[in-house]
Structure 1
Amino acid sequence: MAEHLQKTYTWDVDGRIGNTDTRGLALEVIEFDYKKVNEIVYQENGVTIRSFPAIHALDGSVSYTLEWNDLKFAFSSDTYPNKWWMEYTKNSDLAIHECFASPKILIDKQKFPAQNALNVSTQVHTSPAQFGKVMAEIKPRMAVGYHFFNDYDTQPVVLQDVRETYGGPLSLATWSGMLPKKTLPQEWLPLMKISGRNPLSMETSQQIKADGLAFQNIFGVVV
């Protein structure tokens, strides 16, 4: 699979030769058993990556944690809320979990039949309200929701649903990507004043000061 995936991008890679360093485009395959829980799948240069099962349609999906330099990052992949995520991602510094479009969005915007919308949003994926409950349980220093079209008409609906179950630090990923940056609050918060905007709620600002460190979200939306 990995071999043919690389062949798919042959044209793109060839077009970059001589212009950019293409070494980072090579894939190194590490096979592991997706059924194993909290299994170390990579450990090198102080970085430890572990996997545990995710629940998404057919078996085989996994979630990951990455630990380095006393920091912990968690990434869910597509998944329904599950016990492994709750157990192995508690108190992560940065937790990225899918936050799929709510049934209402699927019905109103994408014209899903109500039964299908409920199934896809809450059984195959993780709805915004479920995402909020998950984050309230694991209490990350920064929660990130992704896997929905973050647009002017969808974000308020998603945010409202999340805030019904979770009141902690939160970012909603955007299509253009995100760049979390670990900074000291005295370096971060004044930048918001200089720029003339502060997307942080008072509650979130207080949380950041209490934690002593912040995650600067450069391209996402802090809410």
Structure 2
Amino acid sequence: MRQSGILETVWAGVAAVALMATTAFAEAPPVGEPSTDDDIAAALTGGVPMGRWKEGLTFEGISPQPWLRSAANWFPGTEDVQPNEMRIIFMGSAPFIRPGQMNTAILVELGNGKIFMFDIGEGSPANIIAGGYALNQISDVFISHLHVDHFGGLPYLWMFGTWAGGWHEQLTVHGPSGRTEEYGTATMVEGMKMMTGWHRDAFSVFPVGKGWDIEVNEFDFRDNGGVVYEEDGVRVIHWQRSHAKDGASGYRLDWNGMCFIWTGDGRPNMIDIPYAKGCDVFVTEQQQEILEISSGVQGVPPFLGRYTVDTHHTPSYAAGYIANLVQPRLLMNTHMSYDPYQIEETVAEIREHWKGPYHFGAPDGIVVNVTKDQIWVREGILPRFPNSRAPQFDFSNGQLVVPHPPHAREDIQEPYVRDMEIDPKLYYPEGYHPELLTEWPVDGDLIVPLDKVPPSLSNSMGAAWRLREANQKVLKEQSGN
């Protein structure tokens, strides 16, 4: 083709694109005579079985809520939790950590502004950040048991949640005792304090406030049905699980007439039934009966897999059996390798006993929106390279309060190494030299009235607080208080 012909073709394409850009919608047709009501009903609702759109295994109450931006996917930062909503996000879903599946961690966000973590496995803080949550928004972590794949992300949450604005509220770790003191949650946290000692002292040149004052709520693992947490209308109870060693627990959270169960790991057990009976979302772990195949895929010898399941875990058949006794609105399972060869087998085994609503709590990012009338499950689209959300603060006092750091560098570092630092004038280009902050700029706490905080900061750092206040106002009006 000659060059002028090529140019003509290119310009024709450009003109077509421009025309499309300026005519996003076709012009409305002329106004016509409306069709009869019978014709409209026949066309728009024709073929509806029994007067409703319901087919196959779609269950009553399993449907998307009207405020969801997309019924197919959840995109972090695009939807506020509604006042009467519970949102459950699987931030980690596997016993074997790998890209795409961090270790087990379930975030539960309530319409009253409360956020809880049930287990916080290794790597899960990355998904918490990808989900658009600031680490300092999480102040209560419920550990089901002390296998490292269920608490391995705790040091990171504590260290960097404190650095990123966790100054005004301690992180509280709730967890079971052991048969002896050395195997309880409190001892684990004491060990974590020792492990992070250098880190905490090094980071004490930053604002810390209450951040390092981690609290432990260790309960007696034998106290089945005991209350772990009760505040702001939220109640969490626990019961023991059979997981080869004493000191494993399941949890039930109740709020606003809805409830969530996380069994943690363990063998199928009748203790679960009275505490989980009729709960809205029942989440359990499960393992499929394909151990020889899994050994070839995952590298675990089949005899080791068989012994592990039979002493520690719930077979998929048993998960369905328990669900049939519990009768939840939705059964979910997690703590599993989400591989194609396992999916159909898992469903077949679950369906041996459970015929009701069922969904995987895997891979990472699965989101469950729960209200009293509807439950909907979607795949969350977590970004691969997310940036952290700004720390979130309660601005009800009309101030931003930044606590003074406990230490200056000279308190924890010998002068020699600082004296050997290269003069910044040698590496900054001519004509550019930032005003360096080598010392904390103020004495005492920094207290800034909200009207003097730059709007970009007050808007980003107060978003969760403003949503909580708005939702709580609705909840109070509904309760008549």
TM range (shorter): 0.7 to 0.9
| Identical pairs, percent | 24
Deviation at 1:100, TM superposition (A): 2.1
Change (3 A) 1:10 1:41: closer
Q: Match for residue 9 of structure 1?
A: 156
Q: Secondary structure at the match of 2:298?
A: coil
Q: Matched residues in 2 for 1:111 and 1:60: separation?
A: 29
Q: Supply the AA of the counterpart residue of 2:283.
A: I
Kept after mapping to 1: 8 A contact 2:226/2:237: yes
Kept after mapping to 2: 8 A contact 1:103/1:117: no
Q: Matched residues in 2 for 1:73 and 1:44: separation?
A: 16
Q: Secondary structure at the match of 2:219?
A: coil
Kept after mapping to 2: 8 A contact 1:133/1:166: yes
Deviations 1:49-99 (A, max 9, x none): 101001102100000111111112111001111121012101000110111
Change (3 A) 1:7 1:106: closer
Q: Match for residue 94 of structure 2?
A: none
Q: Matched residues in 2 for 1:217 and 1:62: separation?
A: 26
Is 2:289 the partner of 1:144? no
Tell me how many residue pairs correspond in the alignment: 186
Change (3 A) 1:40 1:164: same
Structure 2: tracts of 5 or more residues without a match:
1-145, 147-151, 173-214, 381-481
Deviation at 1:117, TM superposition (A): 3.1
Kept after mapping to 2: 8 A contact 1:103/1:121: no
Q: Secondary structure at the match of 1:52?
A: strand
Q: Secondary structure at the match of 2:307?
A: helix
Alignment of 1:133-172 (within 5 A): 133-172=321-360
Kept after mapping to 2: 8 A contact 1:54/1:63: yes
Q: Supply the AA of the counterpart residue of 1:129.
A: Y
Task: Decide which of 69, 88, 91 is 2:278's aligned counterpart.
Answer: 91
Is 2:244 the partner of 1:57? yes
Deviations 1:130-184 (A, max 9, x none): 111111111100111111111222111211111122111001111323221125x
Alignment of 1:28-67 (within 5 A): 28-67=215-254
Deviation at 1:25, TM superposition (A): 8.3
For CA contacts below 8 A with separation 6 or more, give which structure has more relative contact order. Answer: 2
Change (3 A) 1:108 1:162: farther
Is 2:253 the partner of 1:71? no
**C-alpha RMSD of the superposition:** 2.8
Q: Secondary structure at the match of 1:102?
A: coil
Q: Secondary structure at the match of 1:153?
A: helix
